[in-house]
Amino acid sequence: MHADEEILDTLSACFLHNGPGRVESLDNTFAHRIQLCRAWGLDALEPFHVLDVGCGQAESTAVLAYFAGEDGHATGLDPAEPSYGAPFTVQQSQDYLRQSSPLGPRITFARRSLPEFLATANARSTVFDMAVFCHSLWYFTGSDAVHDHFVALAGAGIPRVCLAEYSTASADDDPAQRPHQLAARAQMRLHAAREQHLSEAKPSTLNVRGALEVEELLRVAESAGWSVTRRGIVSPPAGMRDGYWEAGVVTSPRFREGIISQGLPKEQEDSVLEFIPQIGQAIEHLKSIGEPVATMDVAWAVLERQPA
pLDDT band of residue 125 (cuts 50, 70, 90) is: confident
Q: What is the CATH number of the domain that holds 56?
A: 3.40.50.150
Highest mean pLDDT range out of 4-8, 19-23, 80-84, 294-298? Answer: 294-298
pLDDT band of residue 162 (cuts 50, 70, 90) is: very high
247-298 confidence digits (pLDDT tens): 999 999 999 999 999 889 999 999 999 999 999 999 999 999 999 999 999 9
141 is in which domain, residue-wise? 1-169+206-240+295-305
- 16 C-beta neighbours (distance < 10 Å), count: 16
Name the DSSP letter for residue 19.
S
Is residue 111 domain-resident? Answer: yes
Whole-number average pLDDT of the chain: 91
Is residue 38 domain-resident? Answer: yes
Q: Which of 15-24, 210-219, 248-257, 266-275 has the lowest mean pLDDT?
A: 15-24
Is residue 276 domain-resident? Answer: no
pTM metric for this prediction: 0.93
**Among the listed residues 133, 145, 168, 162, the one whose alpha carbon sits nearest the alpha carbon of residue 226:** 162
Distance of alpha carbon 161 from alpha carbon 106, whole angstroms: 20
- The number of domains in the chain is 1
Is residue 198 domain-resident? Answer: no
